């Protein structure tokens, strides 16, 4: 009989953490200021609850509502808006993160958070051609990027971007082509700070990829309680899986035109093109929708451990099709009216009126001449 004390404690911790991630006991409360780096709370209502949100257009609005973000019930704070809030507000946010929150900072060089950010910025460099998974062989990278690409080309480069460097103790998950950190995080007090250093991840990642990366990383940090060393590629204690189920499958969805909303069994999964993971095996109803086009709907069968490809063509609305002109099986007779013409000119000389007139004229002249001669002769005899 095997006693519980003989079971490896690390295995128990890993199993317990994995159960927490796959089946969270309660949703994590989230507060947003401006941008969320592609994370969509609407797709993760079972795990994340959006409790407060500001547009991020004015720092004064964050100053006035700072208690909404520092409230002990808030687990995740997204920081991606205007940086005109006061240093006092910044200090309150940093203190709240130290108490055990997740702090996600995107695309901003917030000077007031310099001490808490895992990367430093120094000038600018030419924008990168692509992003890449920094170390795809680590357990954490395999979990975060499961089912996704390892290389993400830049579809619309800026002329330049901030030049960044990772601080000692931080862990880089995504890097630019020149090895600068693009996505990294580190421990800050009892909490964690996640930083996206690029200007916009939409130029590298599609909506599904950005959403999944954020959701998986936050879930891992909130549930696992992992302890990192100063090495950016070494994890001491961490879960081996994230919400991707071993008996699930994937669907690569494409459409013509691109950019259509994807709904699987009535649930929104982003826009095309996209690689959707963690789908249960079996038949699913897929619908593609795009403004100005008729919806495309069909079925797709998902196999466990495999990727199924789905493609739909959306037809434009109000498209007028000219009906074909019917072609008769036999053409009707064509009647052509020919105007009456003069009788053909006779070919014989005596049948030609012109010749007859000429002959009559000659005969008349001859008779006249003969009469004249005759009268002269007759007159001479008489005398």
pLDDT at 84: 93
Ranges of H-type helices in the chain: 9-22, 59-64, 66-70, 87-98, 139-144, 207-224, 353-382
Residues 162 and 278 in one domain: no
Residues 21 and 97 in one domain: yes
Q: Do β-strands 274-279 and 249-256 pair in parallel, antiparallel, or remain unpaired? A: antiparallel
224 against 250, higher pLDDT? 250
Quick one: average pLDDT of 146-168?
89
Tell which of 290, 313, 336 closes a domain.
Answer: 313
Q: Do β-strands 227-228 and 171-176 pair in parallel, antiparallel, or remain unpaired? A: unpaired
Between CA 274 and CA 277 the distance in angstroms is 10
Q: Do β-strands 119-125 and 191-196 pair in parallel, antiparallel, or remain unpaired? A: unpaired
Please state the domain count of the chain.
2
Neighbour-count burial for 64-96, b at 16+ CB within 10 Å, e otherwise = eebebbbeeebbbbbbbbbbebeeebbebbbeb
Instruction: Classify residue 93: in a domain, yes or no.
Output: yes
Residues 179 and 281 in one domain: no
Instruction: Classify residue 339: in a domain, yes or no.
Output: no
Which residue, among 42, 48, 46, has the nearest Cα to 269 in the 3D structure? 42
**What is the band of 150 on the pLDDT scale with cuts at 50, 70, 90?**
confident
pLDDT at 123: 86
Dihedral sign, CA of 344, 345, 348, 350?
A: positive
pLDDT at 33: 96
Dump pLDDT digits (tens) for 81-114: 999 999 999 999 999 999 999 999 998 778 889 8
Which residue, among 186, 30, 63, 171, has the nearest Cα to 115 in the 3D structure? 186
**pTM score:** 0.56
Most confident of 132-146, 324-338, 357-371: 132-146
Instruction: Classify residue 286: in a domain, yes or no.
Output: yes
Here the CATH number for the domain that contains residue 297 is 2.60.40.1120
Instruction: Classify residue 334: in a domain, yes or no.
Output: no
pLDDT at 267: 87
89 three-class SS: helix
Quick one: average pLDDT of 272-300?
89
Expressed in percent and rounded to 5, the helix, strand and coil fractions of the chain are 25, 30, 45
Cβ burial of 44 (10 Å; 0-12, 13-18, 19+) is buried
Identify whether the C-beta of residue 78 lies closer than 8 Å to the C-beta of residue 215: no
Instruction: Classify residue 351: in a domain, yes or no.
Output: no
Which are the contacts of 209, defined by CB distance < 8 A and separation ≥ 6? 38, 148, 149, 152, 274, 275
Angle subtended by helix axes 207-224 and 9-22, to nearest 10: 130
Tell which of 185, 212, 237 closes a domain.
Answer: 237
pLDDT beyond 80 at 135: yes
Q: Domain of 60?
A: 4-237
Here the CATH number for the domain that contains residue 202 is 3.40.50.880
Query: How many C-beta atoms surround the C-beta of residue 344 within 10 A?
Result: 6
Residues 152 and 121 in one domain: yes
Dump pLDDT digits (tens) for 6-61: 445 444 444 444 444 444 446 899 999 999 999 999 999 888 999 999 999 999 99
Instruction: Classify residue 190: in a domain, yes or no.
Output: yes
Which residue, among 12, 27, 21, has the nearest Cα to 146 in the 3D structure? 21
Quick one: average pLDDT of 184-189?
94
257 upstream amide cis, omega within 30 of 0: yes
Tell me the average pLDDT of the chain: 79
Backbone torsion region of residue 56, taken as left when φ is above 0, otherwise alpha when ψ lies between -120 and 50, otherwise beta: left
pLDDT at 257: 86
pLDDT beyond 50 at 260: yes
Residues 152 and 179 in one domain: yes
12-26, 80-94, 121-135, 258-272: segment of lowest average pLDDT: 12-26
pLDDT at 311: 83
pLDDT beyond 80 at 199: yes
pLDDT at 369: 59
Under DSSP, the state recorded for 372 is H
Rg of the chain over Cα atoms, rounded to whole angstroms, equals 45
* Backbone angles phi and psi of 17, in degrees to 5: -65, -40
Residues 233 and 307 in one domain: no
pLDDT at 321: 52
pLDDT at 370: 61
Q: Determine what percent of the chain is predicted with pLDDT higher than 70.
A: 70
Residues 77 and 161 in one domain: yes
pLDDT at 109: 72
Residues 134 and 154 in one domain: yes
Between CA 172 and CA 179 the distance in angstroms is 10
Dump pLDDT digits (tens) for 306-350: 888 888 888 898 765 555 555 555 555 555 554 554 445 445 555
pLDDT beyond 80 at 71: yes
Residues 302 and 190 in one domain: no
**What is the band of 367 on the pLDDT scale with cuts at 50, 70, 90?**
low
pLDDT at 259: 84
Residues 99 and 226 in one domain: yes
CA distances 10 to 144, 161, 229, Å, are 21, 42, 17
pLDDT at 322: 54
Tell which of 237, 258, 287 closes a domain.
Answer: 237
CA distances 138 to 144, 232, 233, 235, 238, Å, are 10, 10, 7, 8, 11
Residues 299 and 160 in one domain: no
Residue 32: its H or E element = strand 28-34
pLDDT at 355: 52
**What is the band of 186 on the pLDDT scale with cuts at 50, 70, 90?**
very high
Q: What is the dihedral of CA 80, 86, 90, 93, to 10 degrees?
A: -90
Between CA 233 and CA 270 the distance in angstroms is 31
Quick one: average pLDDT of 157-172?
91
Between CA 364 and CA 348 the distance in angstroms is 23
Residues 204 and 118 in one domain: yes
């Amino acid at each position: 009989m095997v006693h519980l004390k003989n079971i490896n404690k690390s295995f128990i911790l890993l199993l317990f953490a994995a159960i927490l991630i796959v089946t969270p006991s309660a949703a994590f409360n989230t507060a947003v200021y401006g941008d969320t780096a592609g994370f969509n709370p609407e797709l993760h209502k079972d795990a994340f609850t959006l409790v407060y949100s500001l547009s991020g257009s004015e720092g004064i609005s964050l100053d006035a509502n700072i208690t909404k973000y520092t409230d002990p019930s808030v687990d995740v704070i997204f920081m991606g808006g205007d940086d005109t809030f006061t240093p006092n507000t910044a200090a309150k946010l940093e203190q709240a993160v130290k108490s055990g929150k997740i702090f996600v900072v995107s695309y901003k060089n917030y000077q007031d958070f310099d001490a808490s950010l895992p990367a430093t910025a120094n000038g600018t460099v030419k924008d990168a051609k692509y992003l890449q998974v920094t170390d795809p062989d680590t357990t954490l990278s395999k979990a975060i990027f499961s089912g996704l690409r390892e290389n993400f080309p830049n579809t619309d480069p800026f002329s330049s971007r901030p030049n960044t460097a990772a601080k000692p103790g931080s862990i880089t998950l995504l890097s630019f082509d020149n090895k600068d950190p693009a996505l990294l995080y580190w421990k800050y007090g009892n909490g964690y700070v996640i930083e996206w250093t690029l200007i916009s991840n939409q130029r590298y990642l599609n909506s599904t990829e950005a959403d999944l990366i954020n959701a998986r990383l936050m879930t891992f940090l909130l549930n696992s309680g992992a302890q990192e060393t100063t090495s950016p590629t070494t994890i001491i204690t961490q879960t081996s899986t994230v919400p991707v189920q071993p008996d699930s499958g994937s669907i690569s969805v494409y459409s013509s035109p691109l950019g259509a909303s994807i709904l699987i069994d009535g649930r929104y999964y982003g826009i095309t093109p996209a690689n959707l993971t963690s789908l249960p095996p079996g038949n699913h109803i897929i619908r593609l929708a795009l403004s100005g086009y008729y919806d495309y709907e069909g079925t797709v069968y998902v196999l466990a451990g495999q990727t199924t490809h789905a493609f739909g063509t959306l037809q434009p609305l109000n498209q007028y099709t000219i009906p074909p002109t019917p072609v008769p099986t036999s053409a009707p007779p064509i009647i052509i009216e020919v105007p009456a013409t003069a009788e053909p000119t006779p070919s014989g000389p005596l049948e030609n009126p012109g010749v007859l007139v000429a002959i009559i004229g000659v005969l008349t002249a001859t008779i006249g001449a003969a009469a004249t001669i005759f009268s002269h002769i007759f007159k001479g005899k008489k005398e």
